[in-house]
Amino acid sequence: MKDSLLDKMTRDFEVSVKQMRQIKAAMGKEMDAGLCGGKSSLAMLQAYCDAASGKEKGFYPALDLGGTNFRVMMVKIFGGGRKPKVVAEAKYKLTREQISGAGDVLFGAIAGYLKKFMKENKFTAEYGMGYTFSFPVKLLGIDEGILMRWTKDFSATGVVGKKVVELQRQAMAALGLNNVNVVALANDTVGTLQTQAVVDPNCVMGVILGTGFNICVRVASRRIRKGVGKYHGKCMIINMEAGNFNKALPLTAYDRQLDKESGNRGGQLAEKMISGKYLPQLVRLIVVDLVKKEKLFAGRVPEIFRHKDTFQAFYMDVLESGSEKEVGKLAKQIFGRVLTVEERLVLVLVCHAIARRSARIAAALISGALTRVEKRSKNKVAVAIDGSLFEKYPGYHRMLEEAISEIEGVKGKGISLKLTKDGSGIGAAVIAAVVSKAD
Ligand code: GLC
């Protein structure tokens, strides 16, 4: 195969240090505009809490909704800066009907799973619960918020513009679930920051690099010009909804095509270049182009690439760094045969270029966000990161770290990236504890 198109693709997906610095600068400006309630691609949503002190204690249940896997857990929080422990946990897979049917069906299903979980584990006391709801929610206070729009292919009807906790409470009451009350509503980025903050006083930023992408930051309350309501703390965490960032991004023809075919055209542009939901879709678009123009796969588009969502992020991991045996097994499963050396090489190059670009754009946005954070000490700044892309994608952590060093011009520059597993779920319980202590 001629390598011209492949060469061009790899070149187009490279993000230079100059471009990363431009993205970083644009990020700072968009943050300022969003904090003032001005025109910005960043919603900069108030989370109505500050980072946890580490002194909080108790047992708190948590709901974690952010993708098709929905989780319920009971978390023990020890105080004394110790890591919280998940004492019971259940995962449920939501059906298409639940995520895209009537809102009542979604909230009813969640209430049903919660009831089952409490009963099976004999949790009969009264509990204040944390609810991680990882979509753009405009909070009205710590325990209520309005869904602005759905992202990540959720589309349950009758929820946008409504108070989500009220809907959840109604569904719980309808099932007679009376010993649990939602006391805190949070985004998964905020939960991740809080989970790390309990053990690490330097943590001032939470990032999700998984199915979706987003960042939250701790800022001084006086800089939030659009108001903080009855909140009295000196600093507040802000859910930036950074996935919607759309300035200075090096969009390619493939990105434009992906956006055009998406359910939320023009929205979530950064997320579409960074997160695990979209990277496999980019692989698909490029491979299809290579099949057509350069006769890859003998000029026939393999079945797995014929539809939008069948090629998964997990396949990219295996193709890029799996053993000979793993790749062979996967190829049989998804292509129905082993790959030729050339086919495999092309797939590796495509996956790598896309994942590397994702890490470099994410690095630029993290660096940009860091310019506006309110530190908790003079020490290093810790960035809590959760999500399968960061945790599992081969080399992602390293690429992210290297790109940050390139942007900052100094190795490390006092920034440490901390994998914060299960941050989104545990963090909701931590916020419930913070709120309960404040009462
Ligand atoms: C999407 C959501 C955002 C969430 C992110 C990661 O971008 O809009 O709220 O934090 O996904 O799950």
List Cβ neighbours of 231 (8 Å cut-off, separation of 6 or more): 46, 48, 221
* 98, part of any domain: yes
Structural tokens at position 261: 């075919």
- Asked whether residue 193 is domain-assigned, the answer is no
CATH number at residue 71: 3.30.420.40
Asked which of 217-226, 320-329, 402-411 is least confident by mean pLDDT, the reply is 402-411
Q: Are residue 232 and residue 163 in the same domain, yes or no?
A: no
pLDDT of residue 263: 87
The whole-model pTM stands at 0.95
Picking from 132, 163, 186, the residue at the C-terminal end of a domain is 186
User: For the residues 187-198, what does the mean pLDDT come to?
Assistant: 96
24-45 pLDDT tens trace: 999 999 999 999 999 999 999 9
**Does residue 412 have a pLDDT over 70?**
no
pLDDT value of residue 3: 57
pLDDT 10s digits, 38-72: 999 999 999 999 999 989 899 999 999 998 889 99
Do 115 and 182 lie in one domain? The reply is: yes
76 and 37 both lie in a single domain: no
Look at residue 438 and tell me whether its pLDDT is greater than 70. Answer: no
The whole domain housing 172 covers: 58-186
Q: How far is the CA of 277 from the centre of ligand 1 (A)?
A: 11
Question: Once rounded to an integer, what is the mean pLDDT over residues 366-374?
Answer: 97
Contact 205, 383 (CB under 8 A): yes
User: Percentage of the chain surpassing pLDDT 70?
Assistant: 98
Kindly give the number of the ligand 1 atom that is closest to the alpha carbon of 188.
10
Distance CA 259, CA 278 (A): 10
Q: Quick one: pLDDT band at residue 436, thresholds 50, 70, 90?
A: confident
Task: Answer whether residue 2 shows pLDDT above 60.
Answer: no
Average pLDDT, the chain: 94
What's the pLDDT score for residue 308?
Answer: 87
pLDDT at 152 over 80: yes
Q: Is residue 110 part of a domain?
A: yes
- Give the total residue count for the chain: 439
| Tokens found for residue 202 | 């330097």
For residue 435, is it within any domain? Answer: no
Q: Domain check: are 128 and 209 in the same one?
A: no
What is the structure's pLDDT at 39? 97
CATH number at residue 27: 3.40.367.20
Query: According to the model, what pLDDT value does residue 295 have?
Result: 87
Ligand 1 atom closest to 208 (CA): 6
Are 8 and 75 part of one and the same domain?
A: no
Looking at the fold, whether 112 and 221 belong to one and the same domain comes out as no
- pLDDT tens string 207-250: 999 999 999 999 999 999 998 888 999 999 999 999 999 999 99
The pLDDT value given to residue 439? 47
Domain annotation covers residue 439 = no
Considering the domain architecture, whether residues 251 and 370 belong to the same structural domain is answered as yes
* Residue 84 in domain: yes
Asked if the structure places residue 335 within a domain, the reply is yes
pLDDT grade for 23, boundaries at 50, 70 and 90: very high
Q: What are the pocket residues of ligand 1 if the criterion is a CB atom closer than 6 Å to any ligand atom?
A: 66, 134-136, 151-152, 187-189, 208, 212-214, 241, 243, 271
Q: Rounded to the nearest whole angstrom, what is the distance from the C-alpha of residue 47 to the centroid of ligand 1?
A: 14
Answer whether residue 262 is part of any domain: yes
Residue nearest ligand 1's atom 12 by CA: 212
Enumerate the H helices of 121-187 as residue ranges: 164-174
For 122-143, the pLDDT digits (tens) are 999 999 999 999 999 999 999 9
Supply the angle between the helices 341-370 and 17-35 in degrees, to the nearest 10: 40
Q: What is the pLDDT of residues 351-364, one digit of tens each?
A: 999 999 999 999 99
Residues 210 and 338 in one domain: yes
pLDDT: which is higher, 275 or 439: 275
Task: Report the domain count for the chain.
Answer: 2
Residues 207, 324: one domain?
A: yes
Nearest CA to ligand 1 atom 3: 135
Residue nearest to atom 4 of ligand 1 (CA): 134
Residue from 134, 148, 190 whose mutation best tests the ligand 1 pocket (most atoms within 8 A of CB): 134
CA neighbours closer than 13 Å in the CB half-sphere of residue 329:
6
| Helices (H), ranges, 312-419 | 313-321, 324-335, 341-370, 388-392, 396-408
Percent of the chain with pLDDT over 90: 90
C-alpha span between 365 and 203 (Å, rounded): 17
Section 284-299 average pLDDT: 94
Ligand 1 center–CA 206 separation, angstroms:
12
Distance of CA 60 to the CA centre of its chain: 23
On the CB side of 328, CA atoms within 13 Å amount to: 3
Q: Are residues 23 and 116 in the same domain?
A: no
Quick one: 85 and 9 in the same domain? no
CA distances from 316 to 37, 67, 389 (A): 39, 20, 11
Asked if the model's pLDDT at residue 437 lies above 80, the reply is: no
- Going from the Cα of 227 to the center of ligand 1, the distance in angstroms, rounded, reads 23
Residue that is last in its domain, among 123, 155, 186: 186
pLDDT, mean of residues 329-343:
94
| pLDDT over 80 (residue 1) | no
Average pLDDT, integer, range 299-320: 94
Residues 252 and 371 grouped into a single domain? yes
Q: Judge whether 329 and 319 are in contact, CB under 8 Å.
A: no
